[in-house]
Amino acid sequence: MPGDPEPLRHDDVSRGPVSDTVAKTRHTGSPPVSVRITAAVVAAGDLAIIFGAGLFALYWLSRHVNVDAQLFRILAVVGTVLFVNLVQVFGGYQFGNLARAQMMALAQALIAWLATIGALFVALRVSGLNTFATHVWLLLWLIVGSAGLAAVRTAFSGRVRIWQRAGRMRRRVAVVGVGRLAERLLHHCAAVADPEIEIVGVYRDRRDAHAAAHCAGHTVAGDIDRLIADIRDGGIDMVIVAMPAAADVRLAETMSKLRLVPVDVRLCSESFAFDVGPCQVSQIDGLTMFNVIDRPVTDWKWIAKVTEDRVLAALILLLIAPLLALIAVAIKLDSAGPVFFRQKRYGFNRELIEVLKFRTMYHHARDPNAEKLTTRDDPRVTRIGSFLRRTTLDELPQFINVLRGEMSIVGPRPHAISAKAGGVLYHDAVRYYDARHRMKPGITGWAQINGWRGETQTVEQIQRRVEYDLYYIEHWSILLDLKIILRTIMVGFTDARAY
């Protein structure tokens, strides 16, 4: 929305030497393969193959013999469901089996498939429904289904090898802590040697020039600020905090900083003395750890969010294309200068993106860093620009940012890099300001539809805006997005605070 700026935050972390593994894993491209999505896709593929093979066998049989097609369809459904459940019981959809022992996973699937056909054969004999036609159908179903499973699982094995070569089968883990608990954790991880986990760095939880330089054979890469910088460089997927129970104050400080970056955080504790609130647990190398922080949007949620953004943005751009052309012509006729105003703002994980807007100021008076916020009757704003700002139409080009994957339709608004509230940079005014960057910025958001938009004259105004942004991140859902979009359509184009 108009007037939503963002501060320029200078990196105050010294860029000293870091872990070799972290350095090598920076900017490697795609994130680690999702365990849940991979297992679900394999299960869905098995279901499609087996059910499709049953229908193919029925089609072939019906061309040669008169059969009761409805009975065979029911058997196909029952057999498919039974097969998928048997594979699940055998552990065939466990990610470790799928990733580490592809031939064993195929063998488990074929054994489950053979057991399914055997169970159906026995059931038909007991019920008196077995005939020559059912025998032929079961045999053909067995052959076609086995061939389909072998082909798809073999192709999947090839994909797994590609993922392994790209390093996507391993989660890059950093450990915070250099004491006895961290040493025990690191020794355990080294002994277990889980192929899905790679320790890429060890960090101390405070700035201490006299702290140990090594921990369990790992060079200590730096303090928490160093860790935050490495996470933002893209070399770390998960952080395990291994600190003694007595360090509750330092633990709170560490968690406060880790809240600002999009990374999974797990707490490794020898006791239950920490008051971390309701949380789930994870099993990592056989050890139980608290899931104290998770990325807001992962796995199926991430797919749903991306699909929502790309599909809706494409449809909206098609619908408003004539309006965009008319606005572009009006801007050109109103004043000299380009149609679009491009402004650097922080996006997901504080990555700088170039946000597009229709130009609403005179070209010579443009303010790319928002050093001075727009005010009512601002002389820098053109005649057509004033109308575009009041109606929020100047934001429409940001649907192009959405299509490019830099923004979402709904999310925390990206702020101009030097914007201030009450003379204070946003980052300095709000303690957890950077936590907004755990999700992609949006064209509209929860704060905007609740009235927190426009000029920020006081620190309280930006604090309240950030509170609403963080609420959205913690409670995100597709339904919440649709609610925000609907309310934006109803009230977002006429707001007295937009100027």
Half-sphere exposure (CA, 13 Å, Cβ side) for 310? 8
Q: Minimal CA–CA distance to 31: which of 332, 329, 314, 234?
A: 234
d(CA 174, CA 224): 11
pLDDT score of 314 = 94
Residue 33's Cβ-count burial label (10 Å; 0-12, 13-18, 19+) is buried
Residue in this structure with the two tokens 């149609």, named with its chain if needed: 339
Question: In CATH, what is the architecture of 170-293?
Answer: 3-Layer(aba) Sandwich (3.40)
pLDDT at 64: 83
User: What is the distance between the alpha carbons of residues 433 and 427, in angstroms, rounded to a whole number?
Assistant: 6
- At residue 468, what is the residue type? Y
Q: Give the residue ranges of DSSP H helices in 290-382.
A: 299-334
What is the DSSP track for 119-161?
HHHHHHHHHT---HHHHHHHHHHHHHHHHHHHHHHHHHHHHHH
Domain ranges of the chain: 35-165, 170-293, 299-491
Q: Residue holding tokens 């053909």? A: 140
SS3 (DSSP) at 335: coil
3-state helix, strand, coil in the chain (%, to 5): 50, 15, 35
> Which SS3 state, helix, strand or coil, does residue 257 take?
helix
Q: What is the pLDDT of residue 17?
A: 46
pLDDT in tens, the chain (499 residues): 444 433 333 334 434 444 555 555 444 456 677 767 777 888 888 999 999 999 999 989 888 888 788 888 899 999 999 998 888 877 777 766 666 556 777 888 888 899 999 999 888 888 878 788 888 999 999 999 999 998 888 888 777 777 777 767 778 899 998 888 888 888 888 887 676 778 889 998 876 656 778 888 888 988 898 999 999 888 788 999 988 766 678 888 888 889 889 888 988 876 543 445 556 777 777 777 777 778 888 888 888 899 999 999 999 999 999 999 999 999 999 888 899 999 899 999 889 999 999 998 888 777 666 666 666 667 888 889 888 888 888 999 999 999 999 999 999 999 888 878 877 888 888 888 888 999 999 999 999 888 887 667 788 888 889 999 999 998 898 889 999 998 888 775 555 555 5
Q: What is the pTM of this model?
A: 0.65
Q: Is residue 264 within 8 Å of residue 295, measured between CB atoms? A: yes
